[in-house]
Amino acid sequence: MKANGLWTILSILCLRSLAIELPRLPFVLLPLEPLFDNQAASVNGSSADFDGQGNSFAGQFLPEGPFAYDGIIYQLPMIWGTGNDNVIANNQTLALSNSTFVHEFHILYSGDNSGDATVTANRFILTFLDGSTQTLTLEASNWWGWPDLNPGIIQTPYSLQANGTSRNFNHTSIFQWSTAVNSEQPLTSITFPEVNPGNRLHLFSMAFSPSNDSVANGPALVIRREKFTSRWEMVSDSRAQAVQVTIANLLPTSSLSVNTSINSKHTIEISGPGMTTVVPGVFYRLVPGDQARVDVLTTGSTTGTNATIVIKNSAGKIVGQSTGWPATALVTHYTADTDSLNAHETPTWWRKAKYGIFIHWGVYSYPAWAPPNEYAEWYNYYLHNPPNSSSPTWIHHLETYGKNVLYDDFIPNFTASKFNASAWLDLFDRAGARYFVQVTKHHDGFALFDTGNTTNRSSVILGPKRDLLKELFDTAAAEKPHIHRGTYYSLPEWFNPDYAKYGFGEWPGGLARNPFNTTPTFEPYTGHLNISDYIQDLQLPHMLTLATQYNTEIMWCDIGGPNNTLEFAAEFYNHALAGGYQVTMNNRCGAVPDFTTPEYETFNAIQTNSWESSEGMDPFSYGLNTATNASEYKNGTTIIQTLVDIVSKNGNFLLDIGPTAEGEIIAPMANNLLEAGSWLEYAGECVYDTEYWFQTSQDPNPPSGVAPARFTTTPMSFCIVTFDAPTENNLVIHKRLPLLPGDEIKLLTSGVGDIALPWSTDSSGNLIINVSSIDVKEVQYAWAFKATYDLDD
């Protein structure tokens, strides 16, 4: 042991003396203070008005002075609550005192739309020395949002109302954002987004990372960041921790050439006290203005020690190293507190999978009806809200079933009589899905799994009298083990009598009142058993059952609200660790999310945190809606283009289908899934296992009327996917891409295989691919052009 330690010390000393010390990312603060025009924070009842409605941050919880996050040291007020501390974006222009090439831009911000958890696109316009511009789209989160699904990097336990005199116990947040800047030209000024009344963007601190514009013969490497993650892989029978290292080439993109790029196998190793690299990270190409994210697999890291990052070329020679990076040990046991659980992240398999199928199936699949712009799975809610002819669902119900039929009378008609788990799984597989998420209990409280002594309101006791979830999960595990298994679970229930104590908003709890004023006055809650507390005796046991009895890999909660999720998450994660697999939990479980879940919407720009968009195949329903014409469903084109767009921005796509009450996936839905699957079969290599490209998700300047091409990357390739068929024998991309002479570009097709195509760049670095109209006709839905790097050595 001692000899080993001595060897480590000696080798570190040797490395020190020989290797080039790689710097960290540089940054320069921008002078925002002169523009400050708003006071966000109150202290001791001072009269701040952050949102224009008299509400303010509780200043005593905000960090003061220099504030370090992700390698940038921002500036915050030395004392909050004593004057203006932020600027409201309102089309102001901030000129740089010296024009300079810029690699990356960083801000601390908060949106002020109280109570709205959704994000708003805000556009910064960057102006360069030659007059050209770049738009940076910030999807801004609001300072608080119900139900607190998007926590920022700075959080306070409450905010102050009425100019600091009373408290609102919703958590508030300040958020951080970093993004790539074009470095074709020096940057001269930044114009802030135009003001959006009622939804304003507040800027607290801003910085940029300059490029290195030396005339270099060789890349200008820096370490952008390292992150000791909760992700791991088994390497020779032990659990190795993934350490994600991000390396940047700080030269401006305009200097792209063979000489300024890395274009051969480079490895990254990390060492430190007790720490060993068991599988080095590998990257092959790094052009000017770009960044590469690489996982290094390590063992033995100890929290509180420092690590050294070493980069070697293909000959094994050290090209640079960097020391002093803080290590964090791999979590091997989670405890029920936010500090422990916040360390958890989406696993590697989830990040690579990209595409999942969501299944809304339950009692609502029997009436299977909603007017346009309502969810069919919300049938029971709209039947009661409002309980009169201004609700289309109430009218539909009266006309179709009469006033003596109640929602629970549908339970026997949710038969699952044609449900065939093998057929479903086979379809998901051919559709190209890498995971699925089954609704196991929606807001109507009807479960599709064995709920034991908590309630008899389940498919095991009522309706089909089958454990539908077990059938699906067992079949998936046996027949399609490569498809990961997830569960949706609604935390609240609309009309559960035991939820009345906790009810809020559209989830009041308490028995539903008969909407037709017939008898009974209050509807039954079929299957209800006496329990004393909804959270402790029903919600938590259900969630634990899904985790420990069904071994779900994705806990996809809905709605949030009262919960015991800290206790749940610790057991969920520890159970998975003991079983040797990795799991994840979304942001609707009320606490400690791994990923966010935009619903029927996507983002305009790359989000570096994990996210997943869900949408029904129906234009506005997750559950089957027989009032929708099947021609309105998302077809192969829409599915593929939505998926590629999301993946180019670092998201996953969870596409929902609604089976019938008998358990059939109707032909139009199945066919559209198969259309998309047929494309993924030959072009999936531009989707699965890819990553977003640091510089941008898409062509920033497509011709008018043409959808911008999307980009994805792998360590040895770069994909360009267009949504409009290239015309005039050319595809032009208005952006310098990480390509070098000798790279081979192929159009991915099914019929005739991959077609190699000639390509060139013009004097501005734009890419031109020659592709004939005949080749273009080989493809449907989207055109995937894959460039394979021509590496040195």
Give the binding site for ligand NAG (CB under 6 A): 43-44, 47, 49, 54, 79, 81-82, 91, 93, 97-98, 115, 147-148, 162-163, 168-170, 194, 212, 214, 216-218, 220, 257, 259, 305-306, 324, 401, 405, 409-410, 413, 453, 531, 537, 560-563, 565, 590-591, 635, 637-638
Q: How far is the CB of 417 from ligand NAG (least distance, A)?
A: 11
Nearer to ligand NAG, 146 or 682 (CB): 146
Closer Cβ to ligand NAG, 664 or 754, answer by number: 664
Phi-psi region of 186 (alpha: psi -120 to 50; beta: other; left: phi over 0): beta
Place of tokens 């969501």: 358
Which is nearer to ligand NAG, 82 or 574 (by Cβ)?
82
Q: Are 40 and 52 in contact (CB under 8 A)?
A: no
466 by DSSP, 3-state: which?
coil
Of 153 and 216, nearer to ligand NAG (C-beta) is: 216
Closest CB to ligand NAG among residues 398, 531: 531
Alpha carbons 450 and 659: distance in angstroms, whole number: 21
> What is the nearest approach in angstroms of ligand NAG to the Cβ of residue 66?
15
**Nearest to ligand NAG of 550, 723 (CB atom):** 723
Tokens (6 digits) for 469 = 């979830």
The whole-angstrom separation of Cα 680 and Cα 698 is 20
SS3 505: coil
Any long-range contacts for 411-414 (C-beta under 8 Å, 24+ apart)? 411/363, 411/446, 411/462, 411/463, 411/526, 412/462, 412/463, 413/366, 413/463, 413/661, 414/362, 414/363, 414/365, 414/366, 414/446, 414/459, 414/463, 414/464, 414/661
DSSP assignment of 29-56, as one string? E---GGG--B--EESTT----SSSSS-E
Which among 330, 341, 308 is positioned nearest to 240, based on CA atoms?
330
Instruction: Please state the closest distance from residue 90 (CB atom) to ligand NAG, in A.
Output: 8
Smallest gap from residue 320 Cβ to ligand NAG (A)? 9
Cβ 23 to ligand NAG, closest distance in Å? 6
Angle, vertex CA 20, rays to CA 16 and CA 24, nearest 5: 100
Distance CA 87, CA 38 (A): 6
Rank residues 232 and 525 by Cβ distance to ligand NAG and give the closer one. 525
Q: Name the residue nearer to ligand NAG (CB basis): 309 or 476.
A: 309
Task: Pick the closer one to ligand NAG by CB: 544 or 757.
Answer: 544
Q: How far is the C-alpha of 334 from the C-alpha of 369, rounded, in Å?
A: 43
Give the whole-angstrom CA distance, residue 232 versus residue 216.
38
- Nearer of residues 4 and 338 to ligand NAG, judged by Cβ: 338
Q: Minimum distance from CB of 541 to ligand NAG (Å)?
A: 7
Q: State both tokens at 670.
A: 């199945």
CB of 412 to ligand NAG, least distance (A): 6
Q: How far is the CB of 565 from ligand NAG (least distance, A)?
A: 6
Q: Kindly give the residue spans of alpha helices, DSSP state H, lying in 290-377.
A: 338-341, 348-353
CA angle, 339 then 342 then 344, to 5° = 130
- By the 8 A CB rule, do 380 and 524 touch? no
Neighbouring residues of 2: CB distance < 8 A, sequence distance ≥ 6: none
| Beta carbon of residue 738, minimum distance to ligand NAG (angstroms, whole number) | 16
Q: How far is the CB of 714 from ligand NAG (least distance, A)?
A: 26
Rounded to whole angstroms, the maximal C-alpha distance in the chain is: 88
Nearer to ligand NAG, 236 or 453 (CB): 453
Cβ atoms of 52 and 200 closer than 8 Å: yes
On whether the CB atoms of residues 268 and 311 are closer than 8 A, the answer is yes
Least Å distance, CB 175 to ligand NAG, is 18
H helices of 368-432, where?
A: 379-384, 392-401, 421-431
Q: Give the residue with the Cβ less far from ligand NAG, 262 or 294.
A: 262
The least CB distance from residue 789 to ligand NAG, in Å, is 17
Check: CB of residue 277 under 8 Å from CB of residue 270.
yes
Residue type present at position 638: T
Quick check: 611 and 597 in contact, CB under 8 A? yes
Helix, strand, or coil here: 37? Answer: coil
User: From the CB of 477, what's the least distance to ligand NAG, in Å?
Assistant: 26
Q: Which is nearer to ligand NAG, 613 or 696 (CB)?
A: 613
Q: Which is nearer to ligand NAG, 272 or 708 (CB)?
A: 272
**What gap in Å lies between CA 732 and CA 251, rounded to an integer?**
25
By beta-carbon proximity to ligand NAG, the closer residue of 454 and 604 is 454
Residue pair 499/492 in contact by the 8 Å Cβ criterion: yes
CB of 194 to ligand NAG, least distance (A): 5
Q: What is the CA radius of gyration of the chain?
A: 28
Shortest Å distance, C-beta 728 to ligand NAG: 22
